[in-house]
Structure 1
Amino acid sequence: MPDLLRPAGPSDPVPHVDPPQAQDPRFAAVMPPAARLVALYDQAVFCEGPVWWPARGILAWSDIEGRRVLGWHPDGRVEVVIDATPFINGNTVDRDGHLVHCEHGNRRLSRTRPDGHYEVLVETYRGDRFNSPNDVVCAADGALWFSDPAYGLTTPRQGRLAESDLGHHSVYRFDPASAALTRVAELGQPNGLAFAPDGRTLYVTDTSRTAGGDGHTIYAYPVAADQTLGERRVVAEVEPGVPDGLCVDHRGWIWTSSEAGIQVLSADGHRLGLIPTPQVCSNCCFGPGEARLFITSKAHLYAIDLAAGPG
Structure 2
Amino acid sequence: MNPEIDDLLPGRLLRRPGPPRAAENFPGVRIESGRLAEVLAPDAPLWVLHEGAIHAEGPAWQASHRRLLFSDVPNRRVNAWYEEDGRVESVIDPAWFPNGNAVAADGSVYHCEHGRRCISRSAPDLRGGPEPIVTHYEGRRLNAPNDVAIAPDGSVWFTDPVFGIVMPAQGALAEPELAHRSLYRFDPASGALARMADFEQPNGVALSPDGRTVYVTDTSRALGEAPGGVPGTRHHVEAFTLGTEGVLPDRRFFCSPPKGNPDGLAVDARGWVWCSAADGVHVWSADQQYLGCIPIAETVCNVCFGGSGGRRLFIAASTRLLAIDLRGG
Query: How far off is 1:96 after superposition?
Result: 2.0
8 Å contact from structure 1 (residues 132, 151) kept in 2: yes
Question: Paired residue for 1:72, among 74, 77, 81?
Answer: 81
**Deviates most, 5-14 or 19-28:** 5-14
Match of 1:146 in 2: 158
Q: What CA distance in whole angstroms lies between the structure 2 residues aligned with 1:124 and 1:108?
A: 8
- Mark the runs of 5 or more structure 1 residues left unpaired by the alignment: none
8 Å contact from structure 1 (residues 2, 81) kept in 2: no
Mapping of residues 103-182 of structure 1, within 5 Å: 103-115=113-125, 116-117=127-128, 118-182=130-194
Q: What CA distance in whole angstroms lies between the structure 1 residues aligned with 2:118 and 2:250?
A: 27
**Deviates most, 124-133 or 88-97:** 88-97
1:31 aligned counterpart, secondary structure? coil
Query: How far off is 1:308 after superposition?
Result: 4.1
Q: What CA distance in whole angstroms lies between the structure 2 residues aligned with 1:265 and 1:141?
A: 25
Structure 1, residues 208-231: CA drift from partner, whole Å, max 9, x if none? Answer: 111211111111101012221113
Query: How far off is 1:54 after superposition?
Result: 1.4
8 Å contact from structure 1 (residues 207, 244) kept in 2: yes
Question: Paired residue for 2:275, among 250, 256, 280?
Answer: 256
1:80 aligned counterpart, secondary structure? strand
Report the residue type matching 1:223 in the other structure: L
Report the residue type matching 1:83 in the other structure: D
1:49 and 2:61 equivalent? no
1:296 and 2:316 equivalent? yes
Give % identity.
Answer: 47
Question: Paired residue for 1:18, among 12, 15, 27?
Answer: 27
Q: Which has the larger radius of gyration?
A: 2
Report the residue type matching 1:49 in the other structure: G
Match of 1:101 in 2: 111
Match of 1:83 in 2: 93
Q: What CA distance in whole angstroms lies between the structure 2 residues aligned with 1:302 and 1:57?
A: 16
**Deviates most, 298-307 or 224-233:** 224-233
1:255 aligned counterpart, secondary structure? strand
Closer, same or farther in 2 for the Cα pair 1:140/1:2, shift >3 Å?
A: farther
1:191 aligned counterpart, secondary structure? strand
Match of 1:277 in 2: 296
1:237 and 2:256 equivalent? yes
Report the residue type matching 2:244 in the other structure: A
Q: What CA distance in whole angstroms lies between the structure 2 residues aligned with 1:14 and 1:175?
A: 41
Query: How far off is 1:10 after superposition?
Result: 1.1
Q: What CA distance in whole angstroms lies between the structure 1 residues aligned with 2:257 and 2:281?
A: 11
2:25 aligned counterpart, secondary structure? coil
Q: What CA distance in whole angstroms lies between the structure 2 residues aligned with 1:56 and 1:151?
A: 31
Q: What CA distance in whole angstroms lies between the structure 2 residues aligned with 1:153 and 1:263?
A: 29
1:305 and 2:325 equivalent? yes
1:198 and 2:210 equivalent? yes
Q: What CA distance in whole angstroms lies between the structure 1 residues aligned with 2:262 and 2:206?
A: 12
Closer, same or farther in 2 for the Cα pair 1:93/1:2, shift >3 Å?
A: farther
Structure 1, residues 166-190: CA drift from partner, whole Å, max 9, x if none? Answer: 0110000111111100100001110
Query: How far off is 1:2 after superposition?
Result: 6.6
Q: What CA distance in whole angstroms lies between the structure 1 residues aligned with 2:115 and 2:94?
A: 11
Q: What CA distance in whole angstroms lies between the structure 2 residues aligned with 1:208 and 1:258?
A: 14
- Mark the runs of 5 or more structure 2 residues left unpaired by the alignment: 1-9, 224-230
1:32 aligned counterpart, secondary structure? coil
8 Å contact from structure 1 (residues 91, 101) kept in 2: yes
Question: Paired residue for 2:16, among 7, 27, 46?
Answer: 7
2:164 aligned counterpart, secondary structure? helix
Q: What CA distance in whole angstroms lies between the structure 2 residues aligned with 1:5 and 1:225?
A: 46
Q: Which runs of 4+ in 1 moved over 4 A?
A: none
Match of 2:3 in 1: none
- Aligned-residue CA RMSD in angstroms? 1.3
8 Å contact from structure 1 (residues 29, 308) kept in 2: no
Report the residue type matching 1:171 in the other structure: L
Q: What CA distance in whole angstroms lies between the structure 2 residues aligned with 1:165 and 1:195?
A: 28
Report the residue type matching 2:44 in the other structure: A
Structure 1, residues 116-145: CA drift from partner, whole Å, max 9, x if none? Answer: 133221100011000000001111121101
Question: Paired residue for 2:233, among 208, 214, 224?
Answer: 214
8 Å contact from structure 2 (residues 152, 210) kept in 1: no
Query: How far off is 1:33 after superposition?
Result: 4.1
